Structure 1
Amino acid sequence: MTKQVIVEKIDAFLIDEFEVDPEELVPGANLKESVGLDSLDFVDLVVAVESNFGVKLVGDDFVNIVTLQDFYDLIERKLD
């Protein structure tokens, strides 16, 4: 799966399932603040990633995730 496909899939479920404004989906956006995800949303985010990409995420995966780009990169690493 290409990086572009990963980004498109992530952006699509953030828009559809989390009602994120598409204009907020820039790589440098802070995942918690700019995108507006709270701790409960992160649980839903883990479920969405598992269903869309077939990879499992654990709490430690999010330790260094600050921006949306960090999140894209995490998913890309998990898929490799």
Structure 2
Amino acid sequence: MTEDEILKHIRVLFEDNFGIEPARVTPQANLYEDLDLDSIDAVDLAIKLQELTGRRIKPDEFKTVRTVGDVMAAVESLLSAQN
């Protein structure tokens, strides 16, 4: 999956689950300050990413995720771990 494909999936996920318009979901966007997610939303996001990748996300790894770019990197890492 390319970075563009990952970003498209993430934009759909944010729109469907959090009501955030796709144009706001940029790699630089901060999940908490720019997109108004809270800790419960972050847990929901981690679960949705697990469903997307088929891989379990370690809570310690997800604690460092702050931006959409970090989410993209986490998805890339999970997908590369499958191969």
Query: Are 1:47 and 2:47 matched, yes or no?
Result: yes
Query: Are 1:38 and 2:21 matched, yes or no?
Result: no
Alpha-carbon contact 2:26-2:68 (below 8 Å) kept: yes
Alpha-carbon contact 1:28-1:69 (below 8 Å) kept: yes
Q: By how many angstroms is 1:21 displaced?
A: 2.2
Alpha-carbon contact 2:28-2:68 (below 8 Å) kept: yes
Return the alpha-carbon distance in structure 1 between the equivalents of residues 73 and 27 of structure 2. 10
TM-score normalised by length of structure 1: 0.87
Return the alpha-carbon distance in structure 2 between the equivalents of residues 63 and 50 of structure 1. 15
Q: By how many angstroms is 1:37 displaced?
A: 1.0
Return the alpha-carbon distance in structure 2 between the equivalents of residues 12 and 22 of structure 1. 7
Gaps of 5+ in 2: none
Q: By how many angstroms is 1:38 displaced?
A: 0.5
Return the alpha-carbon distance in structure 2 between the equivalents of residues 70 and 10 of structure 1. 11
TM-score normalised by length of structure 2: 0.84
Q: Runs ≥4 in structure 1, deviation > 4 angstroms? A: none
Gaps of 5+ in 1: none
Alpha-carbon contact 1:20-1:36 (below 8 Å) kept: no
Once the two structures are superposed, what CA deviation does each residue of 1:27-57 show, in whole Å capped at 9, x if it has no partner? 1111112111111111111111111221211
**Matched residue pairs, number?**
80
SS of 2:9 mapped into structure 1: helix
Residue of structure 2 in register with 1:29 after alignment: 29
